[in-house]
Amino acid sequence: MAEHRSHQEVAVKPFNSIGRAEADVADYVIKNLPLSGYSAERSLGGSQICLLEHVWAETFKTTYAIACNSATSGLFAACLAAEIIPGDEVIVSPYTMSATAAAPKMLGAKLVWCDINPWTYTMDYGLCEKLITKRTRAIIVTNLFGMPAHLSALRAIADAHKIFLIEDNAQAIFASERNELCGTIGHMGVFSLNVHKHLQVGEGGIVVTRDPDLDRKLRDAVNHGEMRGGILGLNLRMTEVTAAMAREQLRRAPEIMKSRLEFAVELEREVQRQGLWITTPFIRPEASHAFYVWGAQLKRDVEKVLPPPWKRGYMRPLYHLKALEADHVHLEVVERVESKMVLVEICAHDPSHDEIVTMVKDLGELL
């Protein structure tokens, strides 16, 4: 009974970055209308969309930013802009959210699974190059948990083979590699504004690029491209209210990111102080980590259920999912990593110092 009470005590409050400022701008837009500025004649959206895209591109030091209604839509738009068609091959990591692979799959591409680096949990770029064939159209790389993949190396590989590098940067906003921000190193980068991300407006996404041709194709993909005689597109548009709230979240980004980093740093410090038998997150010396998730590896098998907010595992490798399953695929590193993974969702919880101490102690009692 004592152990049960202890675990109940660390059911910490959820993290929420939405406040008065976001409510005020939403109220302003609702009262001043319209709620969407898109039309057959207007492909750039309304004033709030244009302001958000301008500020986003300026903040991330890129040329173009295209707002959409989710990062999933952003990935789909990026695949449309890359003109992925049936018969193409797209290299993806099996250790990512399903949307990363679903977007090219829905366009008829063959998914080519690339194993991960055992320390960063991101795509192994050395293995990736070996998977490229004459049918390869794109690499979609995920900056998982907030840790950059080896993006510069992957971009060099993509350029050498004249294929696209698309960054799924939903989890790594403001992370960087060699002082370049994640999401801006690939030909296209996709950001998320989903409710459980660092910056959030419930649902929303942004795609960035430096290529004017890709900018046009992305806008066509998001806003019924056939109306401008471009590629076929869908209605993947963001509303004016969402754009106004997203701009306010971006303005407040330094304080929001600081609070998440402080949680991750304090959690790691406490894990080390208490000497838990886990391998803590690895950060490459040339990169910075956004800590969407604090992911570690167990040093020995543990069969017991972990106390919240700890979780066992991230997700089974995507090739096990029925809709994405592939015959005879078994990638050694990702299978081993997932079997040992223990994590805390940094962007989901907001514990006090005492709660961090208690949650680490509770985990230590099981290890």
pLDDT in tens, 248-283: 999 999 999 999 999 999 999 999 999 999 999 999
Residue 44 confidence (pLDDT): 86
Residue 230 confidence (pLDDT): 66
CB atoms within 10 A of CB 280: 15
For residues 134 and 331, give the distance between their C-alpha atoms in angstroms, rounded to a whole number.
Answer: 23
Q: What percent of the chain has pLDDT over 90?
A: 87
Residue 227 confidence (pLDDT): 59
Domains and CATH numbers, the chain: 20-251 (3.40.640.10), 253-366 (3.90.1150.10)
For residues 52 and 39, give the distance between their C-alpha atoms in angstroms, rounded to a whole number.
Answer: 18
CB atoms within 10 A of CB 303: 6
Is the pLDDT confidence value at 2 over 60?
A: no
Greatest CA separation for the chain: 68
Structure-token pair, residue 18: 């939405």
Residue 3 confidence (pLDDT): 43
Residue 226 confidence (pLDDT): 62
Structure-token pair, residue 186: 């690939």
Terminal alpha carbon distance of the chain: 19
Averaged pLDDT for residues 205-228 = 90
Which tens digit of pLDDT belongs to each residue from 19-57?
999 999 999 999 999 999 997 667 789 999 999 999 999
The alpha carbons of the chain give a radius of gyration, in whole angstroms, of 21
Among 120-124, 154-158, 326-330, 343-347, where is mean pLDDT lowest? 326-330
Which tens digit of pLDDT belongs to each residue from 186-214?
999 999 999 999 999 999 999 999 999 99
Structure-token pair, residue 284: 């490459």
